[in-house]
Chains A and B, each alone.
Chain A
Amino acid sequence: MSSMNHDQGSAGDKYWRSLDHLADTPEFQAIVQREFPEHASEMTHPITRRNFLSLMGASLAFAGLAGCRRPVEKIIPYVVKPEEIVPGVAQRFATAMPFGTTAYGLVVTTHEGRPTKVDGHPGHPGSLGAAHAFMQASILDLYDPDRSKTVLKEGKESSWPDFVSAWRDLYAAYIKDQGAGLAVLSGSFVSPTLARLKAEFLKAFPRARWATYEPVSDENIYEGLRLATGATLQPVYRYDRANVILSLESDFLYTGTDSISAARGFSDGRRIKTEQDSMNRLYVAESTFTVTGSAADHRLRLPGSHVAALALAVARALTAEGAVVEGMSGVDVPSGIALEHEWIQAVARDLVRARGAGIIVAGYQQPPEVHALVYAMNRALQNEGSTIIYREIKDAALPNRSDLAALVNDMNSANVTSLVILGGNPAYDAPADLNFEAALSNVRTAIHFSTHADETSRLCLWHVPQSHFLESWGDVRAADGTLSVVQPMVDPLFGAHSSIELLSLLTTGTEVSGYESVRATWSLYLKAANFEHDWRRVLHDGLLADSALPAVSPKVNGAAIAGALKALMAAVSLPGLDNMEIVFRPSASTFDGRYANNGWLQELPDPITKVAWDNVALISATTAKELKLSQGLRDGQNHQPMLRLQYQGREIDMPIWIQPGQADYTVTVALGYGRRAAGRIGDGVGVNTYALRTSTAPYFDGGLRVARLDRTYPIASVQDHGGLETETLASNEIARRAPTVLREASLEQYRKNPDFASNDVVLPGFKGLKDKDGKPVSIYDAHAYDKGYQWGMSIDLNACIGCNACTVACQSENNIPVVGKEQVLMGREMHWIRLDRYYKGSVDEPDVAFQPVACQHCENAPCEQVCPVAATVHDKEGLNVMVYNRCVGTRYCANNCPYKVRRFNFLEFNPGTSGFMQEDSPEILKLVRNPDVTVRMRGVMEKCTYCVQRISSARIAAKKEGREIRDGEVVTACQQTCPTQAIVFGNLNDPESRVARIKQANRDYELLAELNVRPRTSYLARLRNPNPDLEQPVAG
């Protein structure tokens, strides 16, 4: 990248000092420390975006202090154009996003040096060209105006040089007594450079303590594999090779590590062209409905604490079927737990039949013993080496809760004089029983290195800003060990430093640039003779080819597994009203809290509950009945009853949400909410559930008691409000309509009746009179649409897992605003593509299916006829185009849209666009916008355009080369990011195009085809593959 390595902190500093005495007045200092102008911190309701925006502009007045991005050293206008930059033409760079103990390869789109869009790297094993919601939204984090802009000492503005000199003093002292009293608390990482620096650090300070903590991690998986094999291993699953999959509370399609490759593999195993093909079968046992549970052919709900017993019962059944599982000798399934023996037998038979082509996978929330047993089962089924590969783990700092506990112990006994917290936010997310905050007060010099001045920073002597991964050098390994270099897309916006740079400083006392550190590490992997060439190759490719780590064949230690299992089984208890089970899980929006200040993610509805902007306590309908609770639907809004959760002497109050399919007597709460110092988006959103979480039971535990409170709390849900289930009229109608809206059949039904999806469509029109496409004849001369490109889309409901990635990708690509909780409560969310979630069956054991719905680009578009000013019209390529400039905003088109995919700018959701209220404009948030897409002003309608800007750029490219646009050249944002490749887009007029061929499939159907609006988007009906032994007919 460019050499704009100026020092932001000192530049801002200098500028103000030149205003001589002004900077020294106490009033001025107060303003500076506040960081935001008057009333910023007084905002009582920080999630009201309108407040937030009105504060933005004023904050910018202070941007010159520390946040100015203009290089002091040199400013070069494009008078002489840089060779590689064509203004207006986007450039794409490969990089990687570190995430826990894995990494996702990225391709980042930049416009004139400004990153605007993140997508998956097609060649990277972790992303395969797709990107999940967190990856998509990471670009918004880069431009988060609340990121910390300056080094803070005791909460007051300081500077990087000040920090460096302070550290040098400490360094000199610690190096003398080998680091005694020095400790580092880091997040987990898998990075050769960080690992090298960690080793060097521990070499320089042999008596220093290093602990690694992650609130949500695969620690239990690693522990379990260590228990079973004695080795630290990374499991890599090949779902595409599996015919039968049993998930023991593993949400491998969504929150699990490497969810993209899992989702791709899983959906590849279900991709069916004709009724002759076969597909895999998924069994899921879980307490809370997850995305993976919704994809299951058979789902079993049970408390998380009973999963171990279930696993043991399955292992016994496997042994009985001839696949002898080690590690069970002397362990009995605890009596008193009702297990579905028929289910277990059927699963075991299926798994044994699919020997070598099955997968048993347990969720990271399950204790290590379960993972050890699962390892033994997979081994017995000969799945190891075929569908599951175990690899060694290299260059990693793996999370370890007991290390954190030991560190806290040391801190409490004042054995830690200096603590460096490298990333993470332990004051917020450390287990409540450790009381990290209190322990931290015993540390003389606490240094917190993080992107935001957060809860932990406020308790530390020093806060040092950390750079975003898109603005720093680094390296990572994917789950299979593949190496990538993280290269910056932009200079640090707020002058922050990377963890590599900080760790170098800690280790050596001198400043080393991240670039140099990474290159130094990579001299290991790249031959010195050819270093520059290979280095460039790696940067260009985004990964080092063939750097995956080899598979290993571990040995199983049956006795160790059996011993551990015995203890676990003894502890299993029966949940009931007076002994409920609390289940913690990462939020689908904020994950562990790290994305709390990301508006896109906060507004992204949970895949299952469809709740945005809050976390809720999920309980089953049966439990709710016993507690005399119901969904608090009033005037179309959820005013949810509050519940007091009491667990191990701690309590929190949370709104309830009755979740179909939730295990009885369990309460599931999402982590990552209730932040106090996340920033203006995330502060005060939801309830901090870490307050209940202990180090001994981080994911689930019994002993929860609940008490109903006399309060309600408004919850914003984008679909059904969960409460329609309580209104018989509506729920009956939904149940009646769902099968025709979202068509599905079992594989068996499909084979019997291959045309089930299109069978029940009755089109109006002249009976018997059909045109050449088999469409009813109209009394009008319809436009032919048979020339040139005719764009269309196909969405495979059998592949869609409802993961929301498309929604965020579309938001990023198309500059879709965030509207805030108040507006979502009113039903004014702006997402162009939404994921409709339908329940089928009973409230306790429902099936869940998803349907992505965006503008269907009807040929007989009802919206076009009613617009009085012709602001929405058809183009000759079949696009239903929206002319923002012409729109008056009557909303008639939205009323007349049968799919309700049109979104209206009820208020000025993009500040400054209407020409007044300019002062509301958040300058830095403008940088995230795609310059190829109009930013809509208030009062205009908007909707999915089929990414018309991408069609245009493909057209320009084709025209320049004097050819037609090739099939697959235009990829919509939703299609590009879809982990399961459920969406296909292309030219319907080309019979050879993928989309045209897919639409020939017998599962193809049009949504609401009976209206004869002729949508250009069609769906492939969903299929389930139930086990005939477990007769559970699929509705519809």
Chain B
Amino acid sequence: MNATGIPLKEPAISAAAGDTEQLERALIDASTRVPVLIFYTSAVAWLILGTLLAGFVSFKLHTPDLLSDISFLTWGRVRPAHMNVMVYGWASMAGMGTAIWLMARLCRTVLRYPLLLVAGAGFWNLGVLLGVGGILLGDSTGYQWLEFPSYAAIILFVAYTLVASWAVLMFRFRRGEQIYITQWYLLAAFLWFPWLYAAGQLMLFVVPVQGVLQAAVGWWYANNLLFLWFGAIGLGTAYYMIPKVIGRPVYSYHLATIGFWSYALFSSWTGMQRLVDGPFPAWMVTASIAATILTLIPVATVGLNHHMTMQGYFPLMRYSPTLRFTVFGAMSYTVFSLVGVLISLRSVASYVNFTQASIAYSHLGLYAFFTMVIFGSMYYIVPRLIGREWRYGSLIKLHFWASAYGIGLMTLMLLAGGLTQGASMENPSLAFSESVESVLPYLRGRSLSGILLTVSHFIFAYHFGLMLFGLGRKSTVPTFLNPVESEGAEPH
């Protein structure tokens, strides 16, 4: 037993099942090695590129003349390049990697048709590469998160079809009748994404809708991508990792059911609240504001469920990297949703509508919640694919704190900056330029947080690289963040 008196081991169920289960699991993990590592490696490469672009974007925003004479380095092109690298390169690929591994584990079958996934990853990388290149060369479409020119979008869609058809096939081979909570979320994400992406592409570029509806479709797409694709993968992963690491079943299946269906129903109706008071029928905005407020139901149920599962096991966050990252992400999901509700209320929205606060919101969702959960899952999954443990607990710790402080500082800076900016913008006795001046100090602060995040991502990439080249520790005991004082900690 360790100092906390809490066992660091697998759920009781696996301990009882004995060697056959262990062997079966090892076989499944081995079958996922190549495809999942391809997804992860590409994701980490995109993460580094996206981080560099982000730093550049952040500095240019308060230093406008920095390299502005080169067309492909102009702020207005690098910014969408950064967003799309992060959204489609890093977050989507890492999310798919985790989802693939979880699917194989939860369907309790070795991964079949790996070539579908390898081809999918290849096409996806090609699509992102062409898309980002297109944006930098001046082919951006101008719609948030759909900036990729059509030639890249088609390749992405083909790639996605390969991955999604693999997911559906895997489901047919699953063993056991029970479908675990994580699988609901993953299956939903895999089915929602193509519909969403196809609807967005069709309604904006193939048979474009008229006028302002393009903006509405654009925001509907962006918000649903955040919730139904990233959000669903993130929540599903958290539902797997938290019980797995602490070795205790999820607190309540009923709560999980309520959480899942209310999430699907309400979060899909958000999006228009970001267009508050724009040239739209008022009912669209009002419906989305109502839906945003109703997302508090899934937030409360999911949050409560995780909290009750973790109850008494929080000290384990001192040791397990996976748990620490995942719980941070799960908590950020609550913060993200609360901020989302706050900035969508009409009285607040009229202040923060056109300010940096909306950037804070997307970073809370995509980074503080989703990315942190995915980091956690990678710390769990990669050793199982490679057969080596993470080399340095200290690097994981550094990664965590740099990420946590970085995203915390960024959120605070952007929210506070957004409020300041909005307050001066809504005061017509102040010149408009004063609203811009007022936010610049916060943007410099945000650049500082960007340095922290850059450090964190380089540390992670280095550590991941060590693992990839087989330089991890040979051990049966996972790498803990802090030494477990006593004997008896069992491997997991």
A binds B: no
